[in-house]
Amino acid sequence: MLRTKTRDAVIFQIGLAIFLTIILLIILIPFWRVIVTAFVPLDIYTDEGVPFFLPPTKWTFEAFSQLLGHSMFPRAALNSAIITLLGTAISLVLTVPLAYGLSTRNLTGRKVIMAIVLFTYLFSPGLIPVYLLITGMKLTNNYLAVILPPAVSVYNTLVMMSFFEGLPEELKEAARLDGANELQVLWHVILPLSKPILLTIGLFYAVFFWNEFFTPLLYLNDNSLLPLPVLLRNILISASFNEYVEYNAFSSSSIESLKAAGVLITMLPMLLVYPWIQRYFTKGALVGGVKE
């Protein structure tokens, strides 16, 4: 009987490994295709596309050089960094106390506040009311126009609230008996224990603000304030307009290579940040998403 269970476990592990390998290939093959397209030289680019594998001598950085060498690229990268850092900080400052308050079961009006929060999650106000609000507050051509509307994510708030509810209530009660108020309990007791969820939710917010595209397109009309995704979009649109007027004669990279290089450039910062918080990511996501 024990031998049968062991054999079944081995078969399950082998099947699971094969399944995960297939999923990995499904993810990696398109990603590899983007890499090859970004590095393909113009002289071997054809109407049918690019070869799946490139010889080592045929790789080129021309597409990256064209994008990174744009006069507005440094400023756009700085704008994206400011929006990401400031937006993540403001979002965490707003999300943490909201999640902590909702995790307190004896909070007066907790059900009403929860209902209001969930209502905003289920029913979006739409683009026009938000646009009228932002323009009415004179926030056009201001970083806050990009940061404030999505500053509090209901999903992130609920995940963080679930994490706070899973912390031992005895720690909070001990701090209150020592004379600490709720703000001191949050600052001195809850937050030191919440590093996994803070880094996880912070990563969610950072990725969102770094990739934010449509909102800056609406509210940032000053070219000196444009973030990186909008600048890359403008460059690619300009290249596409020139595609039919001998664009390749004036460029050392194809339009498809520029697009792929733009994708890799925008995803690189998040890829560099992720390994630093990866050990906290799984714990924060699981503990925050599953109540004990």
**In the Cβ-directed half-sphere of 150, how many Cα atoms lie within 13 Å?**
25
Alpha helices in the chain (DSSP H): 2-39, 62-68, 73-103, 110-122, 127-136, 143-147, 154-166, 169-177, 182-185, 195-211, 214-219, 228-241, 247-250, 255-289
Q: Burial letters for 80-111: b for 16+ Cβ neighbours within 10 Å, e otherwise?
A: bebbbeebbebbbeebbebbbbbbbeeeeeee
The amino acid sitting at 209 is F
Phi-psi region of 167 (alpha: psi -120 to 50; beta: other; left: phi over 0): beta
Report the CATH number at residue 278.
1.10.3720.10
Tens of pLDDT, residue by residue over 131-167, are 999 999 999 999 999 999 999 999 999 989 988 888 8
Work out the number of other CB atoms within 10 angstroms of the CB of residue 45.
18
For residue 54, is it within any domain? no
For residue 79, is it within any domain? yes
> How many angstroms from the chain centroid is the CA of residue 101?
25
Contacts of 215 (CB under 8 A, 6+ apart): 145, 146, 149, 150
For residue 155, is it within any domain? yes
For residue 67, is it within any domain? no
For residue 122, is it within any domain? yes
Per-residue model confidence (pLDDT) at position 282: 56
| pLDDT tops 70 at residue 275 | yes
Tens of pLDDT, residue by residue over 164-212, are 888 888 888 888 888 888 888 888 888 888 888 898 899 899 999 999 8
Tens of pLDDT, residue by residue over 22-32, are 999 998 888 88
Give the C-alpha separation, 158 to 269, whole Å.
27
Closest CA to 163 of 200, 188, 114, 112: 200
Give the C-alpha separation, 248 to 269, whole Å.
30
Give the C-alpha separation, 251 to 245, whole Å.
12
- Residue with the larger pLDDT of the pair 118 and 1: 118
Give this prediction's pTM: 0.81
For residue 20, is it within any domain? no
Mean pLDDT of the chain: 82
Number of domains in the chain: 1
111-115, 168-172, 191-195, 265-269 — most confident range = 111-115
Per-residue model confidence (pLDDT) at position 4: 63
Range of the domain at 184: 73-241+260-289
Here the tokens at position 55 are 């010889």
For residue 31, is it within any domain? no
Per-residue model confidence (pLDDT) at position 241: 61
Tens of pLDDT, residue by residue over 218-254, are 899 888 899 999 988 888 777 666 544 344 444 567 7
Contacts of 220 (CB under 8 A, 6+ apart): 140, 141, 145, 146, 226, 227, 230
For residue 272, is it within any domain? yes
| pLDDT tops 50 at residue 292 | no
- Whether the Cβ atoms of residue 288 and residue 195 lie closer than 8 Å to each other: no
Per-residue model confidence (pLDDT) at position 173: 83
Tens of pLDDT, residue by residue over 55-108, are 666 788 888 888 888 888 889 999 999 999 999 999 999 999 999 989 888 888
Per-residue model confidence (pLDDT) at position 237: 79
> pLDDT band at residue 45, thresholds of 50, 70 and 90?
low
The amino acid sitting at 20 is L
What are φ and ψ of residue 282, in 5° steps?
Answer: -60, -45
Per-residue model confidence (pLDDT) at position 105: 82
